[in-house]
Amino acid sequence: MFIQVIQAKASDEAGIRRGMDRWRDELMPGATGYLGTTAGFADDGTFIALARFESEDAARANSERPEQGEWWAEMSKSFDGEVDFLDSAGIWTFRDGGSDDAGFVQVMRGRSDDVQRMNELMSGHDDQIQAARPEILGGVMIDGGDGRWVNAFYFTDEAAAREGEKKDFPPEMQADFEEGMRLGGEPTFFDLRDPVLVSGG
- CATH 3.30.70.100 corresponds to the domain 91-192: yes
> Which of 68-97 are b and which e, b meaning 16 or more Cβ less than 10 Å from the residue's Cβ?
beebeeebeebbeeeeeebbbebbbebbeb
What crossing angle do the helices spanning 115-122 and 171-183 adopt, rounded to 10°? Answer: 150
The secondary structure of residue 28, as a DSSP letter, is G
CATH number of the structural domain 2-89? 3.30.70.100
- pLDDT < 50 stretches in the chain: none
As annotated, the residues of the chain forming the CATH 3.30.70.100 domain(s) are 2-89, 91-192
In 10 A of CB 8, how many CB atoms? 20
Task: Give pLDDT, residue 177.
Answer: 82
Beta bridge partners of 176: none
d(CA 153, CA 163): 15
Task: Give pLDDT, residue 201.
Answer: 64
d(CA 92, CA 139): 8
pTM score above 0.85: yes
Task: Give pLDDT, residue 180.
Answer: 87
Beta bridge partners of 189: 108
Contacts of 154 (CB under 8 A, 6+ apart): 38, 98, 99, 101, 102, 104, 105, 136, 137, 138, 139
